[in-house]
Amino acid sequence: MPGTMPLLEIKDLRRAFYGLDVLRGVDLSVAPGGITGLIGPNGAGKTTLFNVVSGLVPPDAGSIRFDGEEMAGWAPDRISRRGLVRTFQVARGFPKLSVFQHLMLYGRDQPGESLWQAIVGTRAAREREAALAERAWETARFLKLDRLIDNPATALSGGQKKLLEIGRALMAEPRLVLLDEPTAGVNPTLQNEIGERLLELPRRGITVLLIEHDMGFIARLCNPVIVMAEGQVLTQGTFDEVRTDHRVREAYLGRRAA
């Protein structure tokens, strides 16, 4: 997509933990309006990259520009409010809050989150709440969580927790969503449906960067595909291009793919 400015542009991003270089100068960019795949062997640093970009882990060096704004070192909530939301590979959430509350929480621009409006209960707050509730129901239905909508998050199965991760991200209507293995542990049939739904996102103005190990899923959804290995970007291209790269086969895909 020549001519368009990248939505997310990462330059020479570095991060080490106790002397172990996990990100060793990552350069990548994500163009607006597409689904970009991020693959790479276990331990390549993909999740760490998401952690750094979403502000949970400060980078040691390097630049992260989102929509033209440098945001390395920002607090996670500020990044999130700018429209960059991420999900977690190992599902995380609020154990005692219900599925519904999880979904509602991620709704943006909630007037009811100001102390004053919460106490007096303004109309704006009520209306926004009602609108979000409708979306929450819709999201829950799609993810087959509607039956469980009042369940606390602890009482969900492993796969359901992952589905809730996706649901929350969708509720946030971000400009860029980072999905960390969104469908690992999700039943294949539902996984296909989720894939369909993700394909609609760019049309709604949501750009996607997703990590997956399911090659069928990557193949159907993602273009381009970025391959990371050992803390750096190894290569990038269409799925077919990267699939045939021998380094990718060697490090990542394994014997049968070859």
Partner 1 sequence: MSLLQITGLRGGYAAADEIVKGADLKVEAGEIVALIGPNGAGKSTLLKLIAGLLRPSGGSVRFKEQEIAGLGAPAISRRGLSFVPQERNVFGTMSVAENLEMGGFIDGAHARKRMAELYERFPMLSEKRRAAARTLSGGQRQILAMAIALMNAPDLLLLDEPTAGLSPRAAEELFGTILALNKSGVAILMVEQNALEALSVSARAYVLVQGRPEHEGRAADLADDPTVRDLFLGGKAQPMLRGNGDSSNKGTGDFT
Partner 2 sequence: MLSYILFIATIGGIYGLLALSLNLIWGGVGMVNLGLAGFFAVGAYASALLTTVGHGPIAAGWLIALVAGGVAGLVVTLSTTRLREDYLAIVTLGFAETVRLVASNEIWLTRGTDGISGIPGPWKRALGPDFNAVYFLIVVLALLVVFFVMRRIDRSPYGRALRAIREDAQVAQVAGKPVLRFKTEAFVLSAAIAGLAGALYGHFTSYIAPDMFLPLITVYIFLAVASGGTGRPAGALVGAYLVMTLLESSRFFVEWIPGVTAVQRAALKELLIAVALIVVLRLKPSGVLPERVPPAPRPS
Ligand X SMILES: Nc1ncnc2c1ncn2[C@@H]1O[C@H](COP(=O)(O)OP(=O)(O)OP(=O)(O)O)[C@@H](O)[C@H]1O
Choosing from 46, 161, 162, 168, the residue that interacts with partner 2 (CB under 8 A) is: 168
Choosing from 26, 38, 71, 186, the residue that interacts with partner 1 (CB under 8 A) is: 186
Smallest distance, partner 2 to C-beta of residue 252, A: 28
Give me the 83-122 binding string for partner 2, x by CB under 8 A, dash otherwise: --xx-x---xxxxxxx-xx--xxx-x-x-xxxx-xxxxx-
In sequence order, the β-bridge partners of residue 29 are 9
Integer Cα distance of 235 and 249 in angstroms: 12
| DSSP state letters, 170-186 | HHT--SEEEEESTTTTS
47 in contact with ligand X (CB under 6 A): yes
Report the amino acid identity of residue 76: P
Integer Cα distance of 175 and 61 in angstroms: 25
CA 79 to chain centre: 13
DSSP character at residue 152: B
Choosing from 179, 181, 226, 231, the residue that interacts with partner 1 (CB under 8 A) is: 181
Choosing from 7, 30, 35, 171, the residue that interacts with partner 1 (CB under 8 A) is: 35
H or E stretch at 53: helix 46-53
46 in contact with partner 2 (CB under 8 A): no
Choosing from 52, 103, 132, 148, the residue that interacts with partner 1 (CB under 8 A) is: 148
Tokens representing residue 188 in the block: 């294949």
Report the amino acid identity of residue 10: I
* Contact residues for partner 1, defined by CB under 8 A: 1, 17, 33-35, 39-44, 46-48, 89-90, 144, 148, 155-161, 163, 181, 184-192, 199, 202-203, 213-216, 219-223, 238-240, 251-257
